[in-house]
Amino acid sequence: MVIPEIKKPLVTAEDYVQSLRDMKTKIWAFGECHEDVPDNPLFIPHVNAVAKTYEMPFPVKSHLTGKTINRFNHIHQGTDDLVAKVKMLRALNNKTACCIQRCAGMDAMNATYIVTYEIDKAKGTNYHERFKKYVEYIQDYNLVVLGAMTDPKGERNKQPNQQADPDLFLHVVEEREDGIVVRGAKAHFTGVSGAHSMLVFPTQNLKEDCADYAVVFSCPVNTPGITYIFGRQTNDNRKQDPEHPIDQGNFKYATVGGECLAVFNDVFIPWEDVYLYKDYEYAGMFVEAFASAHRQNYGACKGGIADVLVGAVYALCLANGVAKAGHIKDKIADMINLTETLYAGSIACSYEGKPTESGAWRADTMLANITKHNTTKFVYEINRIAQDLCGGILATLPSEADFKHPEIGPMLNKYFACNPDVMCTEDKERLLRLVECLTGGTASVEAMHGAGSPQSQKVMMMRDANLMKKAKLAGDVVDCAFVDRL
């Protein structure tokens, strides 16, 4: 097994940050290659978010070793675990108001555990035993895993092997006695700035002529041959102005998860780290197991962020002296309703979870997809109401440098004043920047497209709905003859 260069189990946030320094993962951003990731202003907020999971570890007992581990590296053993996962995510997002970045890795681990068991049972392979060794190592050392599934895809109406460039879907280009060599890319995935290892999945169902694209494996994020190119983030230019952190909005933590494009240029993966190879008929099972697990989360993580947003808006309404106005209370109630409805979806799909033959439990797929689909709509409405309640100042607030300027600063403090018994002008500035950060740009886009676009959830809803059964139910109620023909 190829393992990250971690010298000891990670216990504290300080241990975690030092482990990233030791790994020396390189990330490209703004045309430069950065080797100082945990100490670079571009990435520090992302690292801080993951570090919170070491400060708040949510311990649980491993079913594999009996040791106490971080819940982010746990294989769910019942509905209690599924519910605890959801509550953990909301609690962490309450503290950071941003993506925690470990969810995709947790969900990829659970999906791989479930599907490798199914493959081994059907085909006599040893993927599952390989994977269990990987899980035990990740648990013992308390490492951060990320999940990488989405391929660039090129022309969407063509299969991977029909693309003009075969590398638009990650695939195996060479089989060796000791492993395989892969080439291609993975896009949009979260958390490379704060991860130790990654699990790589196919992105869709595959046919036999696409068997070279049916590959699942793990590798350290600093594996030679992988190039990471960071995506633009909301306020990323502001992050490079350390003298004025208030302008960043959520200056301690990231706006979203730090998504990137990872290019695999003939990367070697040893056999012990391969958990699917050319068994193309199981590619779709990996996708669906991961997607359902990941969509389970969204009512919790977005609900946790919405809690902070509601709090910021309410505090500003208090400071402006309008919190008791009927229309203000009505709009805040709408934000609360949407937030709790999202959370209820995550809780419901967890309580309705079911066991798999592997022993791992998975959330109800229908309810998980509905939860995520609601997120693609409700988050925008929550944000819209927040922007409505904050008013035009949200878009016209001067910079922190202006507020601190000896000549114009006093003017701004005079004319942006609010109820001094509630907050000072600087606190008002801080909260307005936080609302701006939480309601704009990539934060909303991630709610729409993270864990799959809205259409992908509809596909799975239609599959799981069993419409023919529902048609028979209706026919039986009123004694229709057509029921016997369905």
Active site residues: 99, 103, 190, 259, 294, 298, 301, 446
Q: What are the CA-CA distances from residue 284 to residues 124, 178, 203, 298, 438 (Å)?
A: 19, 27, 8, 22, 34
Name the token pair of 436.
């701006």
Do 371 and 301 form a contact (C-beta atoms < 8 A)? no
Sheet holding 215-220, edge to edge: 145-148, 197-200, 215-220, 274-277
Q: What are the CA-CA distances from residue 378 to residues 130, 339, 371, 375, 391 (Å)?
A: 41, 8, 10, 5, 20
CA distance 339 to 341: 5
A 10 A CB-CB count for 202 gives 25
Calculate helix-pair angle for 298-320, 326-351, nearest 10 degrees.
Answer: 160
- Name the residue among 161, 150, 134, 145 with its Cα closest to residue 105: 145
For residue 42, what are the contacts with CB-CB under 8 A and spacing of at least 6?
29, 30, 34, 230, 236, 239, 240
Residue 448 CA from chain centroid, whole number: 12
